[in-house]
Amino acid sequence: MSHQHQRSRPAGSGTALNEAYDTALLDLDGVVYAGGEAVAYAVESLAEARAGGMRLAYVTNNALRTPDAVAEHLTRLGVPAGPSDVITSAQAVARLVADRLPPGARVLAIGGEGLRVALRERGLEPVDSADDDPAAVVQGYGGPDMAWGRFAEASYAIRRGLPWFASNTDLTIPSARGIAPGNGAAVEVVRIATGAEPQVAGKPLPPMHRETVLRTGAQRPLVVGDRLDTDIEGAFNGGVDSLLVLTGVTDAAQLLAAPPQHRPTYVDRDLRGLLTGQPEVEPAGDAYRCGGWTAAVRGGRLVLEDAPGDGGDALDGLRALCAAAWTSAGPGGCELETEKAVARLGL
């Protein structure tokens, strides 16, 4: 089921993805919801995928909220979920810390409720001060109310020689009003003050993928995400297949420029892609064909040589372009001019 070896073009699938894989490991922001509201087609597609027997799990780098709070939010949006369906980077980092400390150890917790609950779940005792005799420092996203003094507290403890852990290092976090500094930005603040390096758990790193597989028991998981350097790279590092949806932060031009570890197995517009098979991209001489579209590299440019008549799916054109761009780029990222070809798709 793994297509790691042929990442020079998107894979095809003769069966619907919700039948080909037993568990969807879904990212949340930009996939299921955006700015608190459900993404178009997410609610009905997830309901249908689940009715077909697919297990749905929600995997987020955001360590602020507890799985209970995330599950409540999903259920309110029309995506019924329980806390055991939600896996957070707080849980992944708590396991990482627990693996390295004796049971019951005190941990200086710099973050929100999600982090404290996850630490307690692993038998660790969250404390607030560097003077509370902690054995480690763990840092997760604290939200807009995080006080500056918390970073000072982390710095004191790390400078005393304590090991430092971070739930994730996403530099930014999307909000309803725009882009805000994420936990990665907060980690940078502490790094500047200490010169130390944290051990990180979140996507795309293995501890997060391990946590997800341990908690879901997935045999044939499909990672579903909107971000190349977290979701798709995390799937690549874990050796499992992935579906990129274009409802979040990644656009067609970024997908075409992706280096091998950022190339998804499949690409689709939105979560309706879970319910269908995926078309094959066929080599045709030195070009690539998919759904009536033909893409090639000509004179240092990525071009569409052939387009289907009415009713053609622009996504097939993008799949053909991916094959031409990724093959041309080899182990790097494609640096060809892609603007005109992408514009022609009208995505």
Site for Mg ion contains 27 (CB under 5 A): yes
Interface with Mg ion in residues 33-92 (CB under 5 A): none
Asked if 241 touches Mg ion (CB under 5 A), the answer is no
Q: How far is the CB of 96 from Mg ion (least distance, A)?
A: 22
Q: Which of 89, 8, 25 is nearest to 223 (CA)?
A: 25
Residue 111 binds Mg ion, judged by CB under 5 A: no
Residue 333, amino acid: G
Min CB(257)–Mg ion separation in Å: 19
198 binds Mg ion (CB under 5 A): no
Nearer to Mg ion, 27 or 233 (CB): 27
- Is position 29 an interface residue for Mg ion (rule: CB under 5 A)? yes
By C-beta, is 29 or 211 nearer to Mg ion?
29
Q: CA 309, CA 303: separation in Å to the nearest integer?
A: 17
Active-site residue, from 22, 27, 268, 270: 27
Least Å from the CB of residue 224 to Mg ion: 10
Is residue 29 part of the annotated active site? The answer reads yes
**How many residues sit close enough to Mg ion to count as binding (CB under 5 A)?**
6
Interface region with Mg ion, contact rule CB under 5 A, candidates 57-65, 224-232, 304-312, 329-337: 224-232
Look up residue 135 and give its two tokens.
Answer: 């054995």
Stretch that binds Mg ion, among 3-11, 113-121, 227-235, 263-271 (CB under 5 A): 227-235
Comparing CB distances to Mg ion, the nearer of 227 and 262 is: 227
Quote the CA–CA distance of 292 and 184 in Å, as a whole number.
43
The CB-of-184 to Mg ion minimum distance in angstroms stands at: 14
Applying CB under 5 A, the span of 21-29, 158-166, 250-258, 289-297 interacting with Mg ion comes to: 21-29
Nearer CB in complex with Mg ion: 85/226? 226
Shortest CB 27 distance to Mg ion, Å? 4
Nearer CB in complex with Mg ion: 19/270: 270
d(CA 121, CA 117): 6
**Binding region for Mg ion (CB under 5 A) out of 20-28, 54-62, 185-193, 291-299:** 20-28
Check residue 30 for interaction with Mg ion (CB under 5 A): yes
Q: Kindly give, in sequence order, each residue whose CB lies less than 8 Å from that of residue 39, ignoring residues fewer than 6 positions away.
A: 30, 31, 32, 33, 247, 248, 270, 271
For Mg ion, the closer CB: 227 or 319: 227
CA distance 225 to 274: 12
Select which of 29, 85, 170, 268 is catalytic.
Answer: 29
Using rule CB under 5 A, residue 226 touches Mg ion: yes
In whole angstroms, how close is the CB of 245 to Mg ion at the nearest point?
A: 9
Residue 85: CB minimum distance to Mg ion, A:
17
* Closest C-alpha among 258, 229, 232, 206 to residue 99: 206
Verify whether residue 310 is a known catalytic residue. Answer: no
C-alpha torsion 151→157→161→166, nearest 10: -50
Question: Binding segment for Mg ion among 59-67, 248-256, 314-322, 329-337 (CB under 5 A)?
Answer: 248-256
Catalytic site residues? 27, 29
Residues near Mg ion (CB under 5 A) are 27, 29-30, 226-227, 248
